[in-house]
Amino acid sequence: MIKIIHQIADIRYRELFAKDIKTWKEHNPDWEFRLWTPEDCLKYAKYYNLDDVYLSYDNLTKKINLGRYLITHYWGGCFVDTDTRCLRSLNTLFDSDKVHLVTEPKHHHYYVMNGFYYTPKEHKFLQDIILGVAGRPDQHSTVLNGPGYINEILKDNDYDDVIIHEDDNELFVWSEIAFITDKTIVFHHNQSCR
């Protein structure tokens, strides 16, 4: 298992979600923690020859969406949005050779989200996401390279090593639909979208 937790934040989000960011280190002391910047994302975009795509994006969300895929494809590990809080250790959660994804609440328009996932290094699922981003027409970030796009990739490809944790409230809780239990690992308060 690749024990790296990745987050991406500019200075505003680093300050706004400092307490949440800290919980990932506190509950996972044996994991490496990397807090990337949008400038780091650009470096990985250059590495993957997608710097023109990255620079063409008109907002930070689109850039961070691309950055998360590039960084986790390169390094592997767990990606978490900065507006999530870790409540328990991740150590028993993931198989090292599989991608793990979680679903959004049923009232959202999309199925699988990109704000919390685990991936082995250089996995084909992330490779397919990266290969498909260039040339997509500009649109809202959820469709362009966010959860809507991930669901397109999942629908168009058959992955036998991608696990989707559907409505698993012991793993992942959204603030607007469920209560935290003593078994909940990740709490997403979804503040960055408000």
User: How far from chain centre, in Å, is Cα 63?
Assistant: 13
Q: Are 131 and 49 in contact (CB under 8 A)?
A: no
- Three-class SS of the chain: CCCEEEEECCHHHHHHCHHHHHHHHHHCCCCEEEEECHHHHHHHHHHCCCHHHHHHCCCHHHHHHHHHHHHHHHHCEEEECCCEEECCCCCCCCCCCCEEEEECCCCCCCCEEEEEEEECCCCHHHHHHHHHHCCCCCCCHHHHCCHHHHHHHHHHCCCCCEEEECCCCCCEEECCCCCCCCCCCEEECCHHHC
Per-residue model confidence as pLDDT tens digits over 3-18: 999 999 998 888 988 9
Segments forming the whole domain that contains residue 170: 4-193
User: Per the structure, how many domains does the chain have?
Assistant: 1
User: One digit per residue, pLDDT tens: the chain, 194 residues?
Assistant: 899 999 999 988 889 889 999 999 999 999 999 999 999 999 999 999 999 999 999 999 999 999 999 999 999 999 999 988 998 899 878 767 899 998 876 666 668 889 899 999 999 999 999 999 988 877 888 888 888 899 999 999 999 999 998 866 667 666 654 566 777 777 777 655 43
Neighbouring-strand partners of residue 165: 102
CA distance 2 to 5: 9
Domain containing residue 123: CATH number: 3.90.550.10
